[in-house]
Structure formats: C-alpha cells, structure tokens
A and B are shown apart, each in its own frame.
Chain A
C-alpha cells in the first residue's frame, strides 16, 4: 500500500502550476487581468491534444469547484461512475455521497450553492468513483475547508487509492495542516491589538431558499439563526467564527453583508465606527476581482470617489508593507508579494479587496476563510495586518475559519455555529480555546 506523497509550496501560484504539470489541466490565471487570462487559455488550447500518453488522473483542483464539470452532485457522480460501469444505479450514487458525509438532499442542489467543505467532499466522492479507471490522484489543499472531524473522509479516500497501488500526490501550502501531522501549539504571546468591542444583535432570523423546479427539482428549505442566550452578544474583535461544514457560516456572512435577504427576523451590527454596514471578503475571493486585474478592479470601484480611492491606496500600501515586513524573514514566501507595479498574486488580490472594504470604514469586516490559497505565515501576516488597520479605524473583524489554531494569538472572542434542530442554527459564544 503506497502512502500519499506530500509536496509543499510557498504560494498559490506555485501550487497551481504543480497541479497543471501533474494533471495536464491548465486553468487560466484569474488575478493577472484579461490579457493574461486569454493568453493562458490560448496556450492551453494549443497544447491540449487529447491527453497524450499521460496516465488517467483524478484531480482536486486548488479551487475545488473547478473540478466539478456538471451542475449537480448527481450528474458529477453519475458521469464518474459510468467511466467504469455501464449500469449506474441511483442507490450507488446516494451510497457514495453517504460514504463521504454528504446528505442526500445535496444530490440535487446546484453545485454553485454548496458550501466549500461540501464541494471538497463531493470531490472526494468523485475521485472515489473514478478510482477503477485512474492510476493517480492529485489533490491540492484537500482538507483546508474541512472540519477536523471530517478528515476521516480524506483518509478513507487515500487508503482506497493506496490499497489499489495508485499514487496520491498532495500539494499543500507551507504550514497547511495534514491529517496525522503533529499538532503544534503556537506558544508566542498574543498579537497586540487595541481592545475593541462590537455588538451583534439577532432576533431569530429566517432565511428561505425557494424550491427550484427547473431544470431539476430541488425542494425548498429554510434556516433559522438564533443566539444561544438573549438577543445580543458583545464580542471582542477580532472574532473567530467556527462550525461544521455546511452548517451555514458563509450564509450568515452573506446575510450580514446584505447579499442574502432574510425572510424575517433582525440582524444588527454596531462597532465604534458606527452601526449597520458590514463588508465581506468571500471564501473564493478570487471571483470578487470580477474578471479584472487587481489594480483595475480597485480603480473601477472608486471611479466616482477620489477621496476614498486615495484612502484605499493608502490602506493597501500600509497592509502590504506590514505583510512584507512580516514575511521578510523568509525570502521564498515573498514570492506571494510581487512589486506593486505588477500586483497579480492571490495574496495581493486579497490585500487589495480587503483594502477596498476597509477604506469604506464599515462597522464589521468579515473574512470568510481568509487563509485559503495562502501559506500559514502569509495568512497570519495578512489577517494580522488587516486586524491592526481595522482596529485603528474602529472596524470590527470576524474571521470564519476551520483552522482554529492559526488564529489562537489573534482572536479575542469566538462564536460557534451549531445545528440544534433540523433547520435551526444556534450561535454560541465559546472560549477561544474551546474544542467544539
């Protein structure tokens, strides 16, 4: 039985390049602007000619949703199972989903609306379905979006590949956890930040997801968010938000940012910079660049507000300098920060998007999985720099993450989301060290 071979990279760009070499699937770069995007696509189309002699490979891409070519979990799994069997039964599909911790109702849910963790689990199920016809598995950051107790699904997948004598290559970013790695506790003293409190007021909040009758039927569902005790929480910023995969963390963040409207209830946020406004850095922040270059997007956002544009530039320069100073100890990690004349890395995209949001001086800034696509050191430097600047202007910060240990020195409070009834999510304040 062969065990997975681990490769570690300093930057997302290096990890993506490795994935392209190992699988032949060359995804165009998204943060380098339109020209580079189309050049990459052209280069791929010239070089891609039916796979050649490359062995069949199952792949979990750096952005796992990119590996799912069909709109529903059922389609993805059916097409993968039918690579090795001409008679795929519905119960095989549901059985496979169940083995990887996916509820049956996820089968017909559009993939674009699944949570990050569920997308990863579906990738595992797809890779398992492909096992009889492939000879290798290449996986990029396969557990980054997973709750610790779901690591077993990854172990289950790799064991299956190992038993078949298939190779498994895992591309991780520096510092990223991997099942079986010894847990190292960061003994350094907490990051020094000015003390800051913010208020989360929540009257039971109901979100309704309508029935989807077309093209495939998916039943309606609803979620109710409530606080564990009372209707308000006084939290110290930065606040860490944790919870199981698919519990509804990202949905909560989208409600707070006004992207999803609640059907009933009330959510209010107040910090020392004022009440109300909340901005959000999405889990797949790369999409927030909206197909533009990093600098181009920032210029466009502030096209009609020169004052804020200047403020965003100052903010970006400041956080970029902070991150550069923090990463200076390791010249390899500095590859994630190119000179400002040609900003194009994922880290720089995240820095720019965050600076745009901070320039707005919102009451709360939510960073949804800010460490995705970053090495541990780069992620910590980035979030610490953002928290420091945010605190200076009275903006509270909430970090949604599965890597609780990474934020031990930074988080001053923690909220845990727990499913307490089939459609009810309870938000509970817990100790920053608590294991949930």
Chain B
C-alpha cells in the first residue's frame, strides 16, 4: 500500500496530493457530507447518528493510515494527546455552556451535546492527522529546495519553510516537556503536592483550578520552548540562503 512508506513517495507533490486527499473531508466536508445525507435518507438513522457513523468510519481510515506508518507506540502517543486535548475542550465547553447558557445560543441540550461530540471526534481525527502530515516532509529538504529557487517567491518560500520547521519542532518539544512534567507530577493528571485537596466541598473548585493552570502551563511551555530556537534556526536558514545566492561549487 502506498502509505506504508510515505516519505519515499516521490515526487513530493504526489505525497502532498495523497495527504490532502486523505484530509479532504476535513477541508471540504466531501464526501462525508454526501454519505451522511444518503445514509440518513435511506435508513432509519437520524441525521445525527448517520453523521457519527460516517465520520467514525472516516476516523478509522485516517487512524489506519497513521498507525500503519508511525507504528503502535507513536500512534498511541498521538491518540493520547488527542484524547486529552479533545476531552479537555469538550468538558470545558460543556461546563462553560452550563455556567453561561448564553453561549449555547438557544440550542437545545441535545444539540449542544451533539456539537461537543462532533468537536471531540474532529480533534481525535485531525490532531493525529496534522502531526502525521507535518512530519511526512523533511524541513531540511524543503529549505534546500526553496533556497535553490529563483524569483520573487523565494523569500516567501523561505519564511514558509521556517514556519514549517517551527511547527515540526513543536512535536520534539512536547516529548521533552513530557519528561519534565513526569518528574514534577508523576501521576501525570494530578499535582504531585495536593495535601490541601482533602478540604471536601472545595475540591471541585480546586480540581478545575488545577486543570486550568495545567493547560495554561502546557500552552505557554510549548510556545516558549518552540519559539526559543527560532533566532538560531533563522541564522542557519540565512546561511543556506546566502550560500545558494553566492552559488555552491
């Protein structure tokens, strides 16, 4: 199957095409939207159930492609991250809509639940897909190719190549941060030091505060550690750029 050794698919545009085709339902809603309508029209399924069946089927396809290429351990890592992120968004979304009903915009409770479920499923599909997509291309090869280009799109191309490398670097940073997090909080989802959590009625508020603080810490740690080497990356890319401008022997 072509996806078994995706980085070896040449030329590059064919690999890009394959990945874009895989993500097509996410970009355009086709053909999943059409399938959902057909399924809802010709069976006893409600439109919501038909939607979930079609999108779950699509999710299985994406997961299969990712699993076949990245291997079981890494796939579990991607899915773990997607579940944590997806559940956090869904649970916080539900809580916020309960506390501030105006956010639901007059939607029925069932409609809100369905919307949150859709968000969860989308995250479970597109987070692993995005990481897979980004890592399917070599930033170094991209920089080399763009640096060899001539014309007005060269500078823009170099900026995009840098942005692409920074995105890739986020994945590397997360694995490093995870080690640090594990040393600090070995239970992973609970703080290491939580003696005051025995306080009874205040517990839910403290748990929410902890989750909020943890999300905040992770977001900023990822941003800070991802951005930290940018000056050095820019310096390296500028060197490649100048070497190609001078002409390499």
Binding site for B on A (CB under 8 A): 23-28, 30, 34, 37, 41, 44, 48, 50-51, 56, 59, 61, 66-67, 69-71, 75, 78-79, 82-86, 110-112, 130, 133, 210-216, 254, 257-260, 279-280, 282, 287-288, 290-292, 300-308, 360
Residues of B within 8 A of A280 (CB): 183
What's the nearest-Cβ distance from chain A to residue B146, in Å?
Answer: 13
Residues of B contacting A: mostly? helix
Known: A70-B165, A291-B222. 9 other contacts (CB 8 A): A27-B229, A27-B232, A37-B227, A69-B165, A75-B140, A82-B248, A290-B181, A291-B225, A304-B197
The 6 closest A-B pairs by CB, nearest first: A291-B224, A305-B193, A291-B221, A214-B70, A215-B135, A75-B140
Q: A50-B238, A213-B71, A304-B191 are in contact. Are A86 and B233 (CB under 8 A)?
A: no
CB-CB under 8 A from B176, the residues of chain A are: 112, 287
Q: Chain A interface mostly helix, strand, loop or mixed?
A: loop
Nearest CB on B from A129, distance (A): 11
The one of B138, B165, B175, B223 in contact with A291, judged by C-beta atoms closer than 8 angstroms, is: B223
Contacts of A130 in B (CB 8 A): 239
By the criterion CB–CB under 8 Å, are B243 and A44 in contact?
no
A and B contact pairs by CB, cutoff 8 A, 11 listed: A41-B227, A71-B172, A83-B240, A259-B182, A287-B225, A291-B224, A292-B221, A303-B191, A304-B194, A304-B196, A360-B193
Say yes or no: A303-B213 contact (C-beta < 8 A), given A27-B229, A56-B239, A254-B179: yes
| A85 & B217 in contact (Cβ 8 Å cutoff) | no
* Assembled-state Cα–Cα distance A70/B238 (Å): 14
Nearest A residue (CB) for B155: A50
- Judge if B113 is at the interface, Cβ distance under 8 Å: no
> B139, B184, B191: which has the most chain A beta carbons within 10 Å?
B184
With beta carbons under 8 angstroms apart, the residue of A78, A83, A304 that contacts B195 is A304
Partner among B177, B196, B240 whose Cβ is within 8 Å of the Cβ of A290: B177
Rounded to whole angstroms, the CA-CA distance of A260 and B195 in the bound complex is 26
Residue A30 contacts which of B138, B224, B233 (CB distance < 8 angstroms)?
A: B224
Given the known inter-chain contacts A56-B239, A215-B135, please indicate yes or no for A78 contacting B140, CB distance below 8 A: yes
Does the CB pair B248–A28 fall under 8 Å? Answer: no
Q: Which of B148-188 contact A (CB under 8 A)?
A: 165, 168-169, 172, 175-177, 179-184, 186
Query: How far does the alpha carbon of A69 sit from the alpha carbon of B183 in the complex, in Å?
Result: 27
Contact B184–A211 (Cβ < 8 Å): no
Quick check: is B106 within 8 A (CB to CB) of the other chain?
A: no
Interface assignment of B107: CB less than 8 Å from any CB of chain A? no
Complex interface residues of chain B between 109 and 152 (CB less than 8 A to chain A): 132, 135-136, 138-140, 143-144
From residue B70, how far is it (CB to closest CB) to chain A in Å?
Answer: 4
A306 to B228, CA, bound (A): 33
B residues 78-92 near A (Cβ < 8 Å) are none
A86, B176: Cα distance in complex, Å: 34
Report the bound CA distance from A287 to B221 in whole Å. 9
Q: Which residues of B contact A259 (CB under 8 A)?
A: 179, 182-183
Residue with the highest number of chain B CB atoms closer than 10 Å, among A71, A78, A254, A288: A71
Question: What number of B residues sit within 8 Å (CB to CB) of A?
Answer: 64
What are the residues of chain A within 8 A of B220 when measuring CB–CB? 34, 291-292
Taking the complex as formed, is B50 at the interface, i.e. its CB lies under 8 A from any CB of chain A?
A: no
Which of B138, B144, B196, B225 is within 8 Å of A305, CB to CB?
B196
Closest residue of chain B to A306 (Cβ to Cβ) is B196
Q: Are B232 and A69 in contact (CB under 8 A)?
A: yes
* CB nearest to A56 among chain B residues: B239
**Of A67, A85, A288, the contact of B248 (CB 8 Å cutoff):** A85
Contact A69 B236 (CB under 8 A): yes
Q: Are A211 and B71 neighbours in the complex by a CB distance under 8 Å? A: yes
- Whether B231 lies near A112 (C-beta < 8 A) is no
Residues of the B chain whose Cβ atoms lie less than 8 Å from the Cβ of A85 = 248-249
Q: Which residues of B contact A86 (CB under 8 A)?
A: 248-249
Bound together, the chains give a CA A231 to CA B70 distance in angstroms of 39
Please, how many angstroms separate the alpha-carbon atoms of A288 and B180 in the complex? 6
Q: Are B7 and A215 in contact, with the CB atoms below 8 A? A: yes
> Bound state CA distance, A288 and B183, in angstroms?
9
Measured between beta carbons, the chain B residues less than 8 angstroms from A303 are 191, 209-210, 213
CB distance from A62 to the nearest CB of B (A): 11
Pair A112/B193 contact, Cβ less than 8 Å: no
Alpha-carbon distance A104/B53, docked complex (angstroms) = 49
- The answer to whether residues A79 and B236 also contact, given A85-B249, A290-B217 and a CB cut-off of 8 A, is yes
Q: Which residue of A lies closest to B243 (CB)?
A: A83
Taking the nearest CB of chain B, how far is it from the CB of A319, in angstroms? Answer: 19
Contacts of B225 in A (CB 8 A): 287, 291
Contact A51:B238 (CB < 8 A) given known A70-B140, A214-B69, A304-B193: yes
